[in-house]
Structure 1
């Protein structure tokens, strides 16, 4: 394995163990020393990758938000059709596929997260996705459906941990519900006309 490969693997192990400890003991009560001890590495080895706990959390946040930022950029260039919105939800589900432990950390450490720089950044991305899913003049109930579609994916991952079943099947079930909500929020009567609607409109 290359030096870079080993380095990447160590970084991932640090993140995994840190998330586990942050969720079990709390962000404030977990020290870098405890993370190093759990990993059976020296504190210096940990410092090579992360200087502070906040650096560690920011790295986790960036790993999650990179794909979300790519999704937002892609969606911004697409026509605002129902198909685009359904694809946004599908791709968001993919981006969240391995983010369960990170959402557990956010859930268990809400007060600490508010004081970290990541809190506002995540909120801004959620509002952007919400805007991409709803129509500008949509009714309040449809706006609720769109925001619920997003949060059902977060809450679903957290709540469904305790439900028996294959993780991938559970993810698909959550995605199905979220897609239904977005579809219901964009009924045919209120969808914008497609550029080629004159040619393809059915009687």
Structure 2
């Protein structure tokens, strides 16, 4: 638990328990017990488990919102798209526990408002990373670059190797996909 204030401690413990036991099987009482606080103290910060998840989502995905705002102001160059991927990669790493939770609890996430918000962000990112005049295969490469990073978070943990080397390889492949797509545009 690296973060310090009470609200953050609650979020961290809740996310840990949601990952271990699942969202549905974790109660506010258990979260309070792990924190060694009363339920009343927990309620002061969060009334429901959903409130905790929504706050986590807002806090930990803020860099993605900042990335989108930045990307919308940039020229639509290859360099911009490569930088988008680097920034998105950093945002994913910073919110890795949340994305693991989302992966493990897809049905719950789909039922919460954050599911729709995340879907909207992904659609926006896919729009920003590609161009309408790209060939279909190149558009798929761009979308695949984003999902390469998501898949890399989950599946690379089962691949032997240095964690930093694996993260760098995932980013390298994603950047390569967008670079190929951009160069494909020049071939037309």
Scaled by the length of structure 2, the TM-score of the pair is: 0.91
Task: State yes or no: 1:139 paired with 2:116.
Answer: no
Does 2:88 match 1:97?
no
How far did residue 75 of structure 1 move?
0.8
Determine the C-alpha separation between the residues in 2 that align with 1:57 and 1:26. Answer: 12
Q: What is the count of residue pairs matched by the alignment? A: 185
Q: Which secondary structure state, in structure 1, belongs to the residue aligned with residue 133 of structure 2?
A: coil
In structure 1, the residue matched to 2:126 is: 130
- Going from structure 1 to structure 2, the CA distance change for 1:119 and 1:189 (only over 3 Å counts) comes to closer
Query: 1:200 matched to which residue of 2?
Result: none
| Other structure's SS at 1:96 match | helix
Return 5+ residue gaps in structure 2 as ranges: none
**Cα distance, 1:139 vs. partner?**
1.5
In the alignment, is the contact (CA less than 8 A) between 1:64 and 1:99 conserved in 2? yes
SS in structure 2 at match of 1:79: coil
RMSD: 1.8
Which deviations, in whole Å up to 9, do the C-alpha atoms of 1:99-132 show, x marking residues without a partner? 2211111111111111100000001111111111
Once the two structures are superposed, the pairs formed by residues 1-203 of structure 1 within 5 Å of their partners are 9-187=5-183, 189-190=185-186
SS at match of 2:145: helix
Residue-by-residue CA offset, 1:74-96 (whole Å, 9 max, x unaligned): 11111100000000001111111
Give 1:12 deviation, angstroms.
2.1
CA distance in 2, matches of 1:43, 1:108: 26
Q: Is the 8 A contact 1:17 1:38 kept in 2?
A: yes
- Matched residue of 1:186: which SS? helix
- The 1:30/1:145 distance shift into structure 2, 3 A limit, reads same
* Residue segments in structure 1 that go unaligned for 5+ positions in a row: 1-6, 192-203
CA drift of 1:10 comes to 2.1
Question: How far does residue 150 in structure 1 lie from its aligned partner after superposition?
Answer: 0.7
TM-score (norm 1): 0.85
Deviation of 1:68 (Å): 0.8
